[in-house]
Amino acid sequence: MSRLYKGITTSLDSIMHLNSVFLKDVRSNKINLIIGSYRTPAGKPYVFKCVEKALEIINSKAKNLEYLTITGDQEYLDASKRLYFSKDSQFDNVQSLSGTGALSLAANLIKKTLIPQTIYLPNPTWENHGKVFASAGLNIGSYDYIDEYGNFSLHNLERSIKTSIPHNNIILLHACAHNPTGYDLSLNEWMDIVDICVTKNLFIVVDMAYLGFASGNLKKDLTLLKLLDNINSYPSLVCTSYAKNFGLYSKRVGNLFFRGENSEETINMKDTLRQIIRTSYSSPPSDGSNIVKTILLNEELTHLWKSELNDINKHYMHIRRELRRALENGINKDFSSITKQTGMFWFGQKEISTELVHRMRDNHGIYFLDNARISLAGLNDHNIPMFVESLQKSMK
């Protein structure tokens, strides 16, 4: 008898599974509010103009298809470090396979170097977080990011971190555009949270997948990272991605930033990461890093990129306002959470029950996650009325 599939499950996570169900749905008026991929107001995939111009520059040069080094393209790494921290920062970085790849590198680095090995994730968090860290052999704990009613408050967050996480453990923080809740912290609030982490000697892991997608202001979105950078020699990992904010979803390009208690420990972390990378994918691809570095090293293209990020945020703010207005006009209920949250998603768990999610999906072809995380990228001025009508009918 074959032992090939012993102990192996072929089930997808809920996001990918639901998307596969959506693709099989034959209804012409179906709406995909599952995947966080930015679209134009007309619902078409958006290609950044700065990326198009960068590709023109790259294609005009002689082709180089040589391997990158294990840690990645150095010009790209330096440009990324200047963007997220500063050229003089104590943080070092390696190129990763987008944000998920950075998380995987972080998980394996922790497994090889840290004791104890329990990482505490915010509840709720991105579904794949727990799976990535568990696959590396880490124990998973949690702390409450919102209360049982779906509300966010700094007091509840502080209390949960203080009571749920023992000293000397590991904590995961979302830098901005928290996925799925969209509730972000101010500078003073981050200062309080970081102070608690330092007091409890928590090793900090940051997921930064949405730079520029929370506020459109890079400096504001980088608040947590700048705070960490100013705490000399505090061990931390920061996982970043260029999938969303450059539209480079399929190019799989990101960074893992890391810092130890001293320069020697940081060097040792890099050596360990070299071993992890060498035995998993050997070296990263160059297509994505070529695009990113071309933009970040060109003042005109960098300015264009920032302008496009600003336009994207204006679009999301418009969608949030219109969605809230339409819902509150059609349904006698408070939908203020839509405009209080930030990023690509509206977390409507407080307003939309799982039963309503299923009714909207089955009866009207409107697909989003069971926890009512709704990708605003799939909504526009044309289909918002259909979404509202579907919710109205489902509630009846």
The model's pLDDT over 324-372, given as tens digits with 9 standing for 90+, comes to: 999 999 999 999 999 999 999 999 999 999 999 999 999 999 999 999 9
How far lies 209's CA from each of 99, 178, 291, in Å? 6, 9, 18
CATH topology for 68-297 is: Aspartate Aminotransferase; domain 2 (3.40.640)
**From CA 116, how far away is CA 112, in angstroms rounded?**
11
Which of these ranges, 23-32, 41-50, 57-66, 103-112, has the smallest mean pLDDT? 41-50
User: What pLDDT is stored for residue 14 in this prediction?
Assistant: 81
For range 175-182, the mean pLDDT = 95
Which of these ranges, 6-10, 220-224, 344-348, has the smallest mean pLDDT? 6-10
The model's pLDDT over 232-276, given as tens digits with 9 standing for 90+, comes to: 889 999 999 999 999 999 999 999 999 999 999 999 999 999 999
207 pLDDT more than 50: yes
**From CA 149, how far away is CA 142, in angstroms rounded?**
17
CATH topology for 14-47+301-395 is: Aspartate Aminotransferase, domain 1 (3.90.1150)
The model's pLDDT over 60-69, given as tens digits with 9 standing for 90+, comes to: 988 888 999 9
Tokens of 254: 């990101």
User: What pLDDT is stored for residue 4 in this prediction?
Assistant: 52
How far lies 230's CA from each of 79, 85, 218, 258, in Å? 19, 10, 17, 14
Average pLDDT of every residue of the chain = 93
For range 92-106, the mean pLDDT = 98
Determine the longest span between alpha carbons in the chain, in angstroms.
64
The model's pLDDT over 126-173, given as tens digits with 9 standing for 90+, comes to: 999 999 999 999 999 999 999 988 899 999 999 999 999 999 999 999
| Domain regions of the chain by residue span | 14-47+301-395, 68-297
Query: How would you classify residue 39: left for phi > 0, otherwise alpha for psi between -120 and 50, otherwise beta?
Result: beta
Query: Phi and psi (nearest 5°) for 215?
Result: -130, -15
Q: What are 267-271's contacts with CB under 8 Å, separation 24+?
A: 269/92, 269/109, 269/113, 270/71, 270/92, 270/94
Query: Which residue, chain included where needed, has tokens 């004791």?
Result: 115
For range 102-108, the mean pLDDT = 98
In this structure, the strands spanning 236-241 and 31-32 are unpaired
Q: Percent of the chain at pLDDT above 90? A: 86
Q: Percent of the chain at pLDDT above 70? A: 96
9 pLDDT more than 60: no
10 pLDDT more than 70: no
In this structure, the strands spanning 373-375 and 366-367 are unpaired
**From CA 300, how far away is CA 294, in angstroms rounded?**
11
In this structure, the strands spanning 170-174 and 118-123 are parallel
User: What pLDDT is stored for residue 1 in this prediction?
Assistant: 45
For range 122-129, the mean pLDDT = 95
**From CA 280, how far away is CA 256, in angstroms rounded?**
15
> Rounded to two decimals, what is the model's pTM?
0.93
Contact criterion met (CB below 8 Å) for 131 and 13: yes
Give the CA count within 13 Å in the CB-facing half-sphere of 18.
22
Residue 185 has what DSSP assignment?
Answer: -
The amino acid sitting at 372 is A
What is the distance of C-alpha 1 from the center of its chain? 43
Tokens of 383: 């289909």
User: What pLDDT is stored for residue 115 in this prediction?
Assistant: 84
User: What pLDDT is stored for residue 15 in this prediction?
Assistant: 85
User: What pLDDT is stored for residue 24 in this prediction?
Assistant: 93
The model's pLDDT over 281-333, given as tens digits with 9 standing for 90+, comes to: 999 999 999 999 999 999 999 999 999 999 999 999 999 999 999 999 999 99
User: What pLDDT is stored for residue 149 in this prediction?
Assistant: 87
User: What pLDDT is stored for residue 44 in this prediction?
Assistant: 77
User: What pLDDT is stored for residue 16 in this prediction?
Assistant: 86
For range 179-188, the mean pLDDT = 95
Give the CA count within 13 Å in the CB-facing half-sphere of 150.
20
The residues facing 256 across adjacent strands are 94, 239
Query: Phi and psi (nearest 5°) for 262?
Result: -155, 175
